[in-house]
Amino acid sequence: METVRLDREISQTTAPSGVMVLSERVPSVRSVAVGIWVRSASAHEPRPKMGVSHLLEHMVFKGTERRTAQQIALALESRGGSLDAYTSRDTTAFQARVLDSDLPQALDVLTDLVRNPVLRPSDLELERNVVLEEINTVEDTPDDQVFDLSYKTLWPEHPYGYSILGTRDTVGAMSTSDLKQLHERAYFPANCVIAAAGNLTHERLLELLGEQGWFDDRERGNGKRETSPVVPIRPAVHGTEARHPKDTAQTHIVFATDSVPYADRRKYALLVLANVFGGGMSSRLFQRIREELGLAYAIFAFTSFYRQVGVAGVYVGTQPKTAAQAAAAIRAEYATLARDGLRGEALAEAKQQTQGQLMLSLESPSARMYRLAAFPVHGEPYQSLDQVLAAVAGLTEDEIGSVAAEFFAPERQTVVWLGPEGGR
């Protein structure tokens, strides 16, 4: 196995089985956060199987060869720990937070879930209904639903535009055969990243993972094991509007455009700009739309970065009768930022704010674990916190101006409206 020291307390090992293991020692805590990232998720799904990755993430908790669903639930919670999972566009992740002394138990449970689920038809019938209720929950939560509609509008034909949860039709048609095929194809060591942070040593983590068979590349079944194919990203739709009628008290609006992938250094300029634009109470959008015009309770800018692409945009929820006024005011702020960028003291303050957020975001072992996993998952070489802070500090007016002109141009934004038809 090849182990390298990435930073003073951070190590990375690539095993012959292909699994990558990263850890950060945080001796000042009494806990450990550990997770397994499977590099297969909604971005790798064909349209008829939309939601299969998320359904499999649910199903592994229904039982393994050694544990019932209740035993899985009790294994770490009974000791004060927690166990959770999520499906994103690029990865499916399973993680635990436990006392440092319970790391062996956490790895045993996580490995059992990821490698040995039984995937019974009887469990599928129950869990299918749970996922359908999750889909219903999103449809009853318009400030969530409008984001799904935004991605679908940006990428109508690409998996990045799919719903991670799937649709009622695709989820309703799933079989245990679909789940087993996905598990056989994607849930193997070379397609996984394991990251941990807290009061542990890298050597002990490797020892425990070795006991769990991660370095043996245990084969099960006869299926073909392969990293999931990625559909090349096509250009997003720019400058269009999509209106979706819904009987709601507010009109929910998302402005969005494709931006840069996770590994692109321009993401730091986007983070700085998004902070100034709509990152908090001091931001331009909050001050203009909420404080000066009184048009919204919730308004914010957002950025998301994936392996192939990123998204940057703005969300606002407002009364239907003021939706057009709010949208026009947001467009005006877009135009100002795209034209002027950030200069002088405004840029210095924006960089300081972003640096502070980056440092404060790493106060917990869980946050440090997520950060470690993000580098290999998104195809970026490791960057220390000091390197990231230096990259933000080094942003020039020209760099900020170029990114602002490209990604904050009003005409580039695709706008999705969700609310009563009369609110125009």
Q: How far apart are alpha carbons 105 and 19 in whole angstroms?
A: 20
* 8 A C-beta contact, residue 268 and residue 328: no
Q: Where are the beta strands (DSSP E) in 78-233?
A: 82-87, 92-99, 192-198
Q: Radius of gyration (Cα) for the chain, nearest Å? A: 23
Percentages of the chain per state (helix, strand, coil), in multiples of 5:
50, 20, 30
Catalytically annotated residues: 57
